[in-house]
Chain A
Amino acid sequence: MASNQIMFILFSVMIVVFSVLTVTSRRILRAAVYLLFVLVSTSGLYFMLNYQFLAAVQLTLYAGGIVVLIIFSILLTSHISQNFESSGWKKNIFSAIAALIGALLSIITILDYKFSATTEVAQEVNMKLIGKSLLSTGYDGYVLPFEIISVLLLAAMVAAIVVAKKVSPKSAELQNLKQ
């Protein structure tokens, strides 16, 4: 067995095991940590494919950003002794059915697709290439999604500021009067 396959099996076993642990753990912070392990192993898969940029982005955005935010909100809201109760059998059955249907759909789609194996060596994706295609308007360009996502992020940021903004005492009084 080649080293590539061993690494692939290692990463995929980690992803599967920790994904299951994420949803079955009764302690919320442990679930968040298992999720972290899933995301880190996924970035390991990207490193294996020699797509280093995506791997590093996966690490910064998901492991360093989103998981930190999740942990942060858990830290602010829940106490260490808090354990979640296990859900009732009705819920369990319905979620099992939903999960099975989802798994079946994706397995069917994957089996339907004819993966053609190549013997070519995996190429390193250059940063310049990524940058250029991200901002080009041509055939391989991604400028439209890039701009739309920027606008979306800007809107989210403005919304966050509006939500977090302190209300000045004068306008608070005015609002009270209106009510």
Chain B
Amino acid sequence: MLPEIVALNTSPTLSVPWWKVVYDFSALTDWIDKSLHNSMSPFWTTITEMLIIGVLILLFYALVGLFLVYAERKVCAFMQNRLGPNRVGPFGIFQTIADLFKLLFKELIPIKNADGFLFNLAPFIVIIASFMAIAAIPFAKGLHAIDLNIGVLYVMAVSAMGVIGVLLAGWSSNNKYSLIGAMRSGAQIVSYELSVGLSLITIVILAGSMQLSVIVEAQRDGWFLFKGHISAFIAFIIFLISSTAETNRGPFDLAEAESELTAGYHTEYSGIKFAFFFLAEYINMFIVASIAATVFLGGWMPFHVGSWEGFNHIMDFIPPFVWYIGKTFFVIFLMMWFKWTFPRLRIDQLLTLEWKYLLPINLFNVLIMAFLVLMGWHF
């Protein structure tokens, strides 16, 4: 009996000084895991850990959503030479919180002759798809909920489910505008998914793995955007274009083109159900941007240059989480820039761009990358 009691009473301690946790979260997560194991059975440990991670991701999800809406309005205002939100709080930073409360208090209008079950289910499918994708993203060293063997494929597979929610929303509203919006969105997402997949495969060839943690680790001596030079650069541009289209954002926002279709597939939604679609759109943008940051720009890996020891050491002082957030928001800024400066495409132009230009270039690019890797012509 004695050893067990001893083992129970010694609470595990953090193996590194607390301020070093910012550079490597695995010490903190190990410590939490051990402390939980000491106080409960493995089954309940797993359940508690899942709950903690779920709550944390949910919190992160809400905060990022709120911030991105604010950022979008500010960037839009900047592009149009306006001030943007500036009344609620300093620089209007509490504007989106006020908007959130407004949306929460709004009435949920039930639709006559709509398919109630599917109408209410659709926003949840969209939200769940983005929620599942966010779980596989490495935020910082050791801050990675599930590190799947097939990380890239998983994120693509799960985020592809969101289109089902859009299609259901359009059909079950029993409204012609919604239906047209849903059809457009379906055609668009299904075709642009190909380009997203192929441009990611280009980098998978270079990395030799689909595991996101391995992909990040492989960029220790330089980001893939620079290591794969020409081919990686083409893949990055194609990824930016096609992922903007996949998230239904301007200039590819045909699905909710307000000048033609009122609001497209979510015309009939009100209150918090509308907010779900709105939130999912921003989170999808965040997911796409963090995949771009992870796969092309090194994720949480600091900016390293080959064998410049001193330079690399200085860069290591900036915590990985800051690097990750910085890169992700850089990509998000690029996508917002697209939205507010390019005119919207027509549906035939959209499909021509994908099938006649992006797809052939992409297929050729995959071949080039395979050739570069075979010959060892990358850094």
Contacts and interface: CB of A to CB of B under 8 A. Distances in A.
A64 interface: yes
Interface in A60-85: 60, 63-65, 67-68, 71-72, 74-76, 80-81
B168 A29 contact: yes
Do most interface residues of chain A lie in helix, strand or loop, or is the interface mixed?
Answer: helix
Contacts, number: 89
Given A64-B163, A75-B183, A127 B46 contact: no
Interface stretch (B82-90, B145-153, B271-279): B145-153
A15 interface: no
Interface in B174-192: 174, 179, 182-183, 186, 190
B190 A68 contact: yes
Contacts of B168: 29, 33, 71
Given A56-B150, A126-B149, A64 B167 contact: no
B43 A56 contact: no
| B47, B156, B157, B167 pick with most chain A CB within 10 angstroms | B157
A38 interface: no
A53 interface: yes
B170 A60 contact: no
Contacts of B373: none
A127 B157 contact: no
Interface residues of A, number: 30
Which of the listed residues A36, A40, A80 has the most CB atoms from chain B within 10 Å of its own CB?
A: A80
A71 B157 contact: no
B50 to A, nearest CB: 10
A45 to B, nearest CB: 15
A29 B118 contact: yes
A80 B174 contact: yes
Given A3-B43, A75-B182, A80-B113, A63 B154 contact: no
Interface in B97-148: 113-115, 117-118, 121, 148
Given A29-B171, A71-B164, A56 B118 contact: no
B157 A27 contact: no
A67 B209 contact: no
A75 B170 contact: yes
A68 B121 CA distance: 16
Interface residues of B, number: 35
Given A57-B157, A71-B171, A125-B149, 16 more contacts: A27-B115, A30-B117, A33-B118, A53-B149, A60-B157, A63-B157, A63-B164, A64-B157, A64-B163, A68-B164, A68-B190, A71-B167, A75-B183, A80-B113, A80-B171, A80-B172
| The 6 residue pairs across chains A and B that have the minimum distance between CB atoms | A64-B160, A59-B157, A60-B157, A56-B157, A56-B153, A80-B174
A52 interface: yes
A59 B158 contact: yes
A2 interface: yes
A29 B172 contact: yes
A52 B154 contact: yes
B153 A53 contact: yes
B161 interface: yes
Given A53-B149, A56-B150, A80-B174, A72 B157 contact: no
B212 interface: no
A112 interface: no
B122 to A, nearest CB: 10
**Most central of A30, A63, A68, A76 by chain B CB within 10 Å:** A68
A84 to B, nearest CB: 14
Interface string A11-34: 000000000000000010110010
B43 A60 contact: no
B289 interface: no
B210 interface: yes
A59 B210 CA distance: 17
Contact of A60 (B115, B121, B153): B153
A120 interface: no
28 contacts: A3-B46, A29-B115, A29-B168, A29-B171, A29-B172, A30-B115, A40-B161, A56-B150, A57-B153, A59-B157, A59-B160, A59-B161, A63-B157, A63-B164, A64-B157, A64-B193, A65-B160, A71-B167, A71-B168, A71-B171, A75-B170, A75-B179, A75-B186, A76-B183, A81-B113, A125-B149, A126-B149, A127-B150
